[in-house]
Structure 1
Amino acid sequence: MLFLVAALLLFGLTLGTVAHAPLGLSAVAAVVIAVWLAVFALRERHARRHGTSH
């Protein structure tokens, strides 16, 4: 339960920060995070298919 409260607190702080940032900066940050997650997902899929781990 404590983990959930901490996660929601951090989520709220992040959304508060994004609300005060310019729209362009928020969009760039969102694209960077999306690319980072996509690269991570592709690396994980590749590692699982080939049976190797980093």
Structure 2
Amino acid sequence: MLFLVGALLVLGVVLGAVAHVPVPVSVGAGLAIALWLAVFAARERLPGRRRTAGGGGAR
């Protein structure tokens, strides 16, 4: 419950800050976040060198 209250408080602060900046700044920040999330999702889904949970590498 405390986490939910904190998340709503942060959301309110962010939305309040967005209300006071020009629209192009808000759009630019939104695009930057969307790009960051897209890169993260692509890196998570693309096959590549993955670490194993057991750590069975050479010693």
Shorter-chain TM-score bucket reads 0.7 to 0.9
Compare the two structures and name the one with the higher helix fraction. 1
Gaps of 5+ in 1: none
- 2:17 aligns with 17
Question: Is the radius of gyration larger for structure 1 or structure 2?
Answer: 2
State percent identity of aligned pairs: 55
Could you list the structure 1 runs, at least 4 aligned residues long, displaced by more than 4 angstroms after superposition. none
The count of residues paired between Structure 1 and Structure 2 equals 51
TM-score, length-normalised on structure 2? Answer: 0.79
Provide the alpha-carbon RMSD of the alignment.
1.3
TM-score, length-normalised on structure 1? Answer: 0.86
Gaps of 5+ in 2: 52-59
Query: For 1:52 and 1:29, how far apart are their aligned partners in 2?
Result: 31
